[in-house]
Structure 1
């Protein structure tokens, strides 16, 4: 499968799941309330596929424009309703039931995230330990005195086990705090505390990777350039490379570590390389031609060989995080709540100008992240799906007419004034909401295009 098609399929699966789950939330709530559902559509515009099913002969449709979907319910405002069906019309339902039906869509997205996190935490995953690499020069990490090989034990008092946990806690702290204390275990097995300045994250308008802004890097051990395994039908196998071979130089350039080997190979797609090796202590010279592969739109070289590792390095760098079924469920709810609150805070600060609007992502960027996470593995892909599901749930609850949150706002006003809003008021609100939504979409597309050309 080509790189573009792989990313497209990964994005389509994410989008399809999120739309179906969201709309199914509305559908189930409508059925619970006794409202008749006329159509369940994945996508907008002209239906490409329609099938009637169920007691109410509901239309199940897939439409031409895939970015979204809808559930169409029986409603007097949208067409004539038979007298015998009036009690099943959406607009005739008590306001509390209408609110439940509308809120059920975002609630389904949050529930999906909880279930995904629950399964992931229960099943367990292998992740990088929070071991720091050499900090970037003249960065906050360097100013704090952080050093290569130090293990982060706590961030501001909160215990961390993985690199991703450390990243998430630093992001949360950076929202309001200028500094945070890191409890570290250095290579002499001493526990020390360093104070890290977080202001650089906010000063950039939250653009780019926050850890890069802070100068934090993941520790990369220096591995010798010794081949551990060779892939079948790979460029390495075609060249005659074998497990145990030590790479000495490539085209006259000395190779001191596995990182040196990877760098040279990646820079040489399709190029013929002269490789000097040591095999059983004896020097040999081989010719290798790295295969050209696509990586995020650029061509790199790959030979299909893996580094030799007796297991000790992996054990030092990686940790398996797993929870019991009950504690995993509690952590899943906490993870969903924290990420929902963080998303809402970021949206608020984007409105006030504290967070750059360049952080707003459209379908192209989401497709890129979907493809990247899918390549990393199923657990990364499911975590990405959970995160986007949370974002969709929060977005839909914003009090913008045309979104679910806008309808909930209408119903709250209806409760307060003890009567529904006028048709004219709701019509103006819908026009304002549609305009705002189109502006957001246009800005997101602009950011996508800008990222494509600027990197």
Structure 2
């Protein structure tokens, strides 16, 4: 719980502060006087004023931050001071200042995704499991052990990359071209995966699993052996990769455990790969009672899962290119999902609130730095896209008023702006209520 709260607070603080810094940076370039830049809300814990008159503050509640600008010049201000007010700036300058916040979030996402490419990560190779009968993958002719090479002509480097490339077309529906290399080598072939499309709710089924696409199960690899156990007596060693046991070739971890459990006191042939060479041995599981007293077989070894892995590491330019492509793809995907929600094609259950976001923050933080950075990039994109929506009270609402001003040739009347603000408050309240409701449903279901 503590890690979840810390990961959530750090994420929100970083992403909102970066958003506000975008507003600040462009405002200063446009000559607007910034009165305060606060990291956090509430009571000010520390502050200092720079030579431009901006008060930099650290506040008690670390859930974001804010920028306070000079909106109107004070009474009696001279011409120079009046020009520092936000509302005295040109339409283009005001629009740029407002747009800078969401763009800062998208820029941060690009940098975060680029950092993943520079860091380099070990990811599972895109080798597919046997699809369930009747699924689109089975009908397309995919087989267990096929290595996925391209999705709609775009190369994939790993299973993580493959999931990224598959998510949007699976939700959208239609035909997806998959280039695969058969297990054991051979010439690549192109298959057509036909899917109906559907929802992508956080608490719903995985679209890839629904299509019959899954990562091949890990192969059993022996870990720590119990001294004097059946595995040690049979000559097995930690690090042995099990190729076959009990006549079953290429068993999964669960299949190996089941085979051993089902043959107490019976010799089982086992073939392992050790240091690149194959060895044939025989192991006899010892008879032990299970939780209900029934006899089962045990060989005294920790069985681990081993998957083929690839290192995904890119140079600086390729990392930046990946950051741009992923940010553009996810931004487009988010906008399409919002459009489908409006049309009723996608469930409103996809809207998540702070409880779900905090939960994901904690989960990814526990998994490691790379998943957490990916989470930060995704939420940064969400903040940027959300703020660009043409809803009064959001940055997109201000841009909408500026667009109307550009068309009319004069500012939007105060009464129209105030009415829009009331509508915006109502829409945001409804959106927040729905998000909290979805959070509670996920929490208690």
Other-structure match for 1:453:
444
Deviations, residues 120-140 of structure 1 (Å, cap 9, x unaligned): 212322111111112234322
1:73 and 2:64 are equivalent in the alignment: no
1:222 and 2:219 are equivalent in the alignment: yes
1:108 and 2:99 are equivalent in the alignment: no
Alpha-carbon contact 1:39-1:61 (below 8 Å) kept:
no
Pick aligned residue for 1:28 from 22, 25, 29: 25
Q: Aligned ranges for residues 348-359 of structure 1 at < 5 Å? A: 348-359=339-350
1:213 and 2:210 are equivalent in the alignment: yes
Alpha-carbon contact 2:217-2:252 (below 8 Å) kept:
no
Distance of 1:407 and 1:377 partners within structure 2: 39
Alpha-carbon contact 1:74-1:81 (below 8 Å) kept:
no
Pick aligned residue for 2:55 from 31, 55, 58: 58
Q: TM-score, normalised on structure 1?
A: 0.78
1:152 and 2:140 are equivalent in the alignment: no
Other-structure match for 2:77:
83
* RMSD of aligned residue pairs (Cα, Å): 3.5
Deviations, residues 323-354 of structure 1 (Å, cap 9, x unaligned): 22122222221221111111111111111111
Distance of 2:185 and 2:211 partners within structure 1: 24
Distance of 1:196 and 1:17 partners within structure 2: 40
Distance of 1:16 and 1:71 partners within structure 2: 14
- Displacement of 1:62 in angstroms is 2.2
Alpha-carbon contact 2:113-2:377 (below 8 Å) kept:
yes
- Displacement of 1:58 in angstroms is 1.5
Other-structure match for 1:340:
331
Distance of 1:192 and 1:343 partners within structure 2: 32
- Displacement of 1:49 in angstroms is 2.9
1:434 and 2:400 are equivalent in the alignment: no
- Structure whose CA Rg is larger: 2
Alpha-carbon contact 2:9-2:63 (below 8 Å) kept:
no
Alpha-carbon contact 2:121-2:313 (below 8 Å) kept:
yes
Alpha-carbon contact 2:48-2:57 (below 8 Å) kept:
yes
Residues 1:215 and 1:82: Cα distance change in structure 2 (over 3 Å): farther
1:193 and 2:184 are equivalent in the alignment: no
Alpha-carbon contact 1:126-1:320 (below 8 Å) kept:
yes
Q: Aligned ranges for residues 247-266 of structure 1 at < 5 Å? A: 258-259=253-254
- Displacement of 1:212 in angstroms is 2.0
Residues 1:418 and 1:136: Cα distance change in structure 2 (over 3 Å): same
Alpha-carbon contact 2:131-2:212 (below 8 Å) kept:
yes
1:95 and 2:91 are equivalent in the alignment: yes
- Displacement of 1:70 in angstroms is 2.3
Distance of 2:180 and 2:112 partners within structure 1: 32
Alpha-carbon contact 1:75-1:81 (below 8 Å) kept:
no
Other-structure match for 1:19:
16
Residues 1:156 and 1:332: Cα distance change in structure 2 (over 3 Å): same
Other-structure match for 2:114:
118
Residues 1:89 and 1:262: Cα distance change in structure 2 (over 3 Å): farther
Distance of 1:257 and 1:171 partners within structure 2: 26
1:6 and 2:13 are equivalent in the alignment: no
Unaligned runs of 5+ in 1: 230-235, 247-255, 264-277, 289-304
Distance of 1:53 and 1:68 partners within structure 2: 20
- Displacement of 1:286 in angstroms is 10
Q: Aligned ranges for residues 403-414 of structure 1 at < 5 Å? A: 403-414=394-405
- Displacement of 1:36 in angstroms is 1.4
SS of the residue aligned with 2:310? Answer: strand
